[in-house]
Amino acid sequence: MKTIDLVNKNLAKRYRKEKLFRAYGLASIGFGLLCLVLLFSDIIGKGYKAFVQTNIQIEVNFDAGYLGITDTTNTEQMFAANFEGLVKKSLREMFLIKKRSDKRLAYSLVSTDSGYQLHDLLVANPAWLGTTKKVWLLADDDLDTYYKSVDNLNGAFTGRMQEQQLVWIKNLLDNDALQLQFNMNFFNLGDSTEPELAGIRAALMGSLFTLMVTMVLSFPVGVAAAIYLEEYAPRNRFTDIIEVNINNLAAVPSIIFGLLGAAIFLGFFGMHRSLPLVGGLVLTLMTLPTIIITSRAAIKAVPPSIREAAMSIGASKMQVVLHHVLPLAMPGMLTGAIIGLAQALGETAPLLLIGMVAFIVDIPSGVTDPATALPVQIYLWSDRPERSFAELTSAAIMVLLGVLIVMNALAVLLRKKLERRW
Amino acid sequence: MTNEIVYDATVGRPLLDDAKMSMRGVNVFYADKQAIHSVDLDIGKNQVIALIGPSGCGKSTFLRSLNRMNDTIDICRVEGHLMLEGQDIYDPKLDVVPLRARVGMVFQKPNPFPKSIYDNVAYGPRIHGLASRRIDLDEIVESSLQKAGLWNEVKDRLHAPGTGLSGGQQQRLCIARTIAVSPEVILMDEPCSALDPIATAKVEELIAELSQNITIAIVTHSMQQAARVSERTAYFHMGHLVEVNDTEKVFTNPEHPLTEAYITGRFG
Ligand SMILES: Nc1ncnc2c1ncn2[C@@H]1O[C@H](COP(=O)(O)OP(=O)(O)O)[C@@H](O)[C@H]1O
Ligand SMILES: [Mg+2]
């Protein structure tokens, strides 16, 4: 047999193997995509309804006498006015309530915050004083859950609803007095015990401030450490130990960093609990090994010929690093940093240990305001009994994933922009 | 058969009267392994010396010890006296930065910076502060590119990336980058081995021109090239400097049997 025949004979076998190899690859990718689709469809399916909220239409008589307001620009008068009473009065009139026990049932159909909503409406529309208007008020979360499930095949979810309330709701439905509106509160407010008043903003800002601290500290420190280890450190037992330990640190469970952070920053330095500053410091400890390792890899990937070129015309060590190595390694370093930060963004355990698990209503405005973080907020909400919080949990996960996607897109963009393709 | 030959002193004429660089008793080690064995050699001022020998014989190692590029290899250790115009270049007090400005180097694979052609050439003058004004720098860039025979080809695209040039142009750009800091010596490590014959011819021409006022040491595996460009030739064998003589003599009438074996192509 001639050589070429042998080759041809084997060729078929080689092609078969190659096909199989490709099939394995495709199957793996398919499996990965399937998991992703399942995850996303589950979360989006559960959470998308949290972006709208049930509102209830009520006829309100802005009786100047009842409210005791003569001038809507007078903040004192506006503040003193009993808007909450006005809401209750309107509800009583609307449902023609006579029994004392029905009152509480009627009041609980609207959000506890309805008085403020009326106040805000009157501030926005001063001309309404003394007139009767139909206004949309935020419904209570039980009604919200009911209304969102009203089209379900096996009946709406009634939960804690009482017989009498269902009758009223039927009435409201018949009069088109229930409506879904965009859930502004979710994006504007902090945490609340009332699902309809609970928002993601405090946690989002907390996460952003925390990440800011992490980035500002871990990137320069990590890059400097990588440069030192890669370019200056002698190769000896001592640096070997450092190297091994950095790699080990990257594998340490994050909760350990939380304990460490609690001991050092809270215990030793006496910093306050729940601060993004402390959270950022703890996450810096956690992110540093990742950044150092990826930065070193990026530095190693710079072709030695470039270093030699610079050195051979008399560039000093520092000039070689600053003018040549760093610019060429920067895209890789930034990618590593963003991956590290993305990890930090999703970290919960260490933040629990330094108290960023508090009930935060006020939006933090700096790194020294008590705050919580997105994943912690998710954790907190997932633990609450109200069904609406399950929805909010999924919605918060969507926000977290959204931020992650934005960060990763940023990493890709930065890399594209900085990469020298020549 | 060659293994049994005892390496005596270098034959030929390794020492000169008007040396630009003189090396005495040079040993180079990589960790415990000795790559260069007690080499004595002078490099004449404004001469071209070719270093030839079978691959792995230590040509690059020797060349790189002449501007201390070996310093960057942790395990590499150089012994002996290496003098540049009477100054010991391994003196611990000596700063390698000005040394490398005086003794430049061109590598086997063209290695322009991923910057523009202009910035490639201007880099050396910039870091050494050779030009205070923009026009002075422009002047240096232009004259360096002129000397490297590249000016006419690139003058309209000085701000295009240097890595976009052809291989031969890239190598001449690297030479321009080296001569921009006005070195006294240029070390070339197989500068043409990645180039086609036409580009090679251009670089060889350039070497001849530069050698009018620059001392050049060139490692080459092409004996024709050594014969074409150099005035003296040094033959290395397994870390030993076997023979040094005028190029013509080495190629027409080698004194040492190893040299003869090499140039007649019995090994290489
Ligand atoms: N960085 C290095 N580390 C260890 N050994 C080296 C290194 N560079 C070269 N050598 C060894 O030194 C000897 C000479 O190498 P080299 O100078 O590159 O030879 P040439 O340039 O003549 O081909 C070879 O045996 C080679 O294996
Ligand atoms: Mg070599």
pLDDT in tens, A210-231: 999 999 999 999 999 999 999 8
Tell me the per-residue pLDDT of B165-222, one tens digit each, with 9 for 90 and over: 999 999 999 999 999 999 999 999 999 998 899 989 999 999 999 999 999 999 999 9
Q: By three-state DSSP, how is residue B173 classified?
A: helix
Same domain, yes or no: A222 and A357: yes
Give the full edge-to-edge strand order of the sheet including A132-138. A132-138, A52-61, A178-182
Same domain, yes or no: A275 and A350: yes
Tell me the per-residue pLDDT of A14-50, one tens digit each, with 9 for 90 and over: 899 999 999 999 999 999 999 999 999 999 998 999 9
CATH of the domain at A314: 1.10.3720.10
CA distance A326 to A365: 35
**b or e along B193-208 (b: 16 or more beta carbons within 10 Å of the residue's beta carbon)?**
ebbeeebbebbbebbe
Q: What percent of chain A is predicted at pLDDT more than 70?
A: 99
Q: Is B160 in the pocket of ligand 1 (CB under 6 A)?
A: no
Beta-sheet pairing, B19-30 with B33-44:
antiparallel
Same domain, yes or no: A370 and A230: yes
Q: Is A232 on the interface with B (CB under 8 A)?
A: no
Q: By three-state DSSP, how is residue A371 classified?
A: coil
Q: Which helix (H) or strand (E) holds A94?
A: helix A83-95
Candidates A225, A61, A45; CA nearest to A128 is: A61
Beta carbons of A315 and B104 less than 8 Å apart: no
Q: What is the number of the ligand closest to the CA of B191?
A: 2
For the CA atoms of B43, B45, B47, B48, the dihedral, rounded to the nearest 10 degrees, stands at: 50
Q: Which two tokens stand for residue B85?
A: 């115009």
Rg (CA), chain B: 19
pLDDT for the residue numbered A360: 87
Which among A235, A303, A307 is the nearest to B74, CB-wise? Answer: A235
pLDDT for the residue numbered A190: 92
Highest average pLDDT, of A4-8, A311-315, A417-421, comes from A311-315
pLDDT for the residue numbered B1: 43
Query: Looking at the predicted structure, is the pLDDT value of residue B159 above 90?
Result: yes
CA distance A39 to A57: 37
Beta carbons of B111 and A303 less than 8 Å apart: yes
User: Which residues lie closer than 8 Å to A272 by C-beta, 6 or more apart?
Assistant: A266, A278, A368, A370
Q: By three-state DSSP, how is residue A126 classified?
A: helix
Residue A189 lies in a domain: no
* Domain finish residue from A183, A216, A247: A183
CA A220 to chain CA centroid, Å, is 25
For B165, the closest chain A residue by CA position comes to A422
Q: How many CB atoms neighbour CB B29 within 10 A?
A: 15
Helix residue spans in A96-236 (DSSP H):
100-107, 114-124, 141-148, 163-174, 184-188, 201-227
Q: By three-state DSSP, how is residue B50 classified?
A: strand
Same domain, yes or no: A253 and A115: no
CA distance B172 to B167: 9
CA distance B75 to B52: 25
Q: By three-state DSSP, how is residue B240 classified?
A: strand
pLDDT for the residue numbered A389: 93
Q: Is A307 on the interface with B (CB under 8 A)?
A: yes
Using 50, 70 and 90 to split pLDDT, how confident is the model at A186?
very high
Which among B69, B114, B180 is the nearest to A312, CB-wise? Answer: B69
pLDDT for the residue numbered B267: 64
Q: What percent of chain B is predicted at pLDDT more than 90?
A: 87
Residue A79 lies in a domain: yes
pLDDT for the residue numbered B10: 87
Beta carbons of B112 and A312 less than 8 Å apart: no
CA distance A320 to A309: 9
* Cα dist from B199 to A257, A314, B92, B194, whole Å: 60, 27, 40, 10
> What amino acid is encoded at A268 in this protein?
F
Same domain, yes or no: A288 and A371: yes
Beta carbons of A324 and B104 less than 8 Å apart: no
Tell me the per-residue pLDDT of A158-180, one tens digit each, with 9 for 90 and over: 777 888 888 898 889 898 899 99
pLDDT for the residue numbered A10: 87
Residue A27 lies in a domain: yes
Query: Looking at the predicted structure, is the pLDDT value of residue A368 above 50?
Result: yes
Same domain, yes or no: A138 and A207: no
* Domain finish residue from A153, A183, A213: A183
Beta carbons of B181 and A313 less than 8 Å apart: yes
Q: By three-state DSSP, how is residue B19 classified?
A: strand
Same domain, yes or no: A234 and A360: yes
Of residues B69 and A411, more confidently modeled: B69
Burial of A382 per CB tally in 10 Å (0-12, 13-18, 19+):
middle
- Could you tell me if A192 and A362 are in contact, meaning their C-beta atoms sit under 8 angstroms apart? no
pLDDT for the residue numbered A157: 81
pLDDT for the residue numbered A156: 76
Beta carbons of A314 and B107 less than 8 Å apart: no
DSSP percent split of chain B into helix, strand, coil, nearest 5: 40, 25, 35
Sign of the torsion angle spanned by Cα atoms B215, B216, B217, B222: negative
Residue A29 lies in a domain: yes
Residue A190 lies in a domain: no
Q: Is A308 on the interface with B (CB under 8 A)?
A: yes
Beta carbons of A312 and B101 less than 8 Å apart: no
Which among B100, B163, B180 is the nearest to A311, CB-wise? Answer: B100
Query: Looking at the predicted structure, is the pLDDT value of residue A420 above 70?
Result: no
Same domain, yes or no: A384 and A247: yes
User: Which residues lie closer than 8 Å to A268 by C-beta, 6 or more apart?
Assistant: none
Tell me the per-residue pLDDT of B28-66, one tens digit each, with 9 for 90 and over: 999 999 999 999 999 999 999 999 999 999 999 999 999
Of residues B148 and B5, more confidently modeled: B148
CA distance A344 to A254: 9
Q: Is A309 on the interface with B (CB under 8 A)?
A: yes
Residue A192 lies in a domain: no
Question: What is the DSSP annotation of B90-132?
Answer: T-TTS-HHHHHHHEEEE-SS----SSBHHHHHHHHHHHHT--S
Query: Looking at the predicted structure, is the pLDDT value of residue A348 above 60?
Result: yes
With contacts defined as CB-CB under 8 Å, which chain A residues touch B161? 422
Q: Which of B65, B113, B130 to mutate to test the interface with A (most CBs of A within 10 A)?
A: B113
Query: Looking at the predicted structure, is the pLDDT value of residue B2 above 60?
Result: no
- The CA B56 to ligand 1 mean position distance, Å, reads 6
DSSP letter for B164, please.
G
Q: Is B61 in the pocket of ligand 1 (CB under 6 A)?
A: yes
How far apart are the CA of B161 and the nearest CA of chain A, in angstroms?
7
Same domain, yes or no: A126 and A153: yes
The average confidence (pLDDT) of chain B is 92
Q: Which two tokens stand for residue A40?
A: 């996303």
Beta-ladder partners of A60: A133
Q: Which helix (H) or strand (E) holds A178?
A: strand A178-182
CA distance A310 to B172: 16
HSE-up of residue B192 (Cα within 13 Å, Cβ side) = 22
- The CA B259 to ligand 1 mean position distance, Å, reads 20
Q: What is the CA angle B47-B50-B55, rounded to 5?
A: 160
Residue A191 lies in a domain: no
> What amino acid is encoded at A155 in this protein?
G
CA distance A96 to A106: 10
- The CA B81 to ligand 2 mean position distance, Å, reads 22
- The CA B267 to ligand 1 mean position distance, Å, reads 18
Residues of B with CB under 8 A from a CB of A: 67, 69, 72, 74, 96-101, 104-105, 107, 109, 111-114, 123-124, 127-128, 161, 163-164, 174, 177-178, 180-181
Same domain, yes or no: A35 and A57: no
Q: By three-state DSSP, how is residue A355 classified?
A: coil
Q: How many CB atoms neighbour CB B32 within 10 A?
A: 7
User: In this structure, which residue's CA is closest to atom 25 in ligand 1?
Assistant: B56
- Could you tell me if B100 and B92 are in contact, meaning their C-beta atoms sit under 8 angstroms apart? no
- The CA A225 to ligand 1 mean position distance, Å, reads 31
Q: Is B30 in the pocket of ligand 1 (CB under 6 A)?
A: yes
Beta-sheet pairing, B11-12 with B215-219:
unpaired
Domain, as residue range, for A227: 201-418
Residue A194 lies in a domain: no
Q: What is the number of the ligand closest to the CA of B75?
A: 1
Q: Which of A313, A317, A321 to mutate to test the interface with B (most CBs of B within 10 A)?
A: A313
Same domain, yes or no: A206 and A309: yes
The dihedrals phi and psi of B49, each to the nearest 5 degrees, come to -115, 135
Query: Looking at the predicted structure, is the pLDDT value of residue B111 above 80?
Result: yes
Rg (CA), chain A: 30
User: Which residues lie closer than 8 Å to A337 by C-beta, 6 or more apart?
Assistant: A215, A218, A219, A222, A291, A294, A295
Structural domains of chain A, count: 3
Same domain, yes or no: A248 and A360: yes
- Could you tell me if B249 and B17 are in contact, meaning their C-beta atoms sit under 8 angstroms apart? no
With contacts defined as CB-CB under 8 Å, which chain B residues touch A319? 127
* Domain finish residue from A120, A155, A183: A183
pLDDT for the residue numbered A421: 57
CA distance A44 to A395: 7
Beta carbons of A313 and B112 less than 8 Å apart: no
Beta carbons of B113 and A319 less than 8 Å apart: no
Which residue ranges form the domains of chain B, and what is each CATH number?
Answer: 2-263 (3.40.50.300)
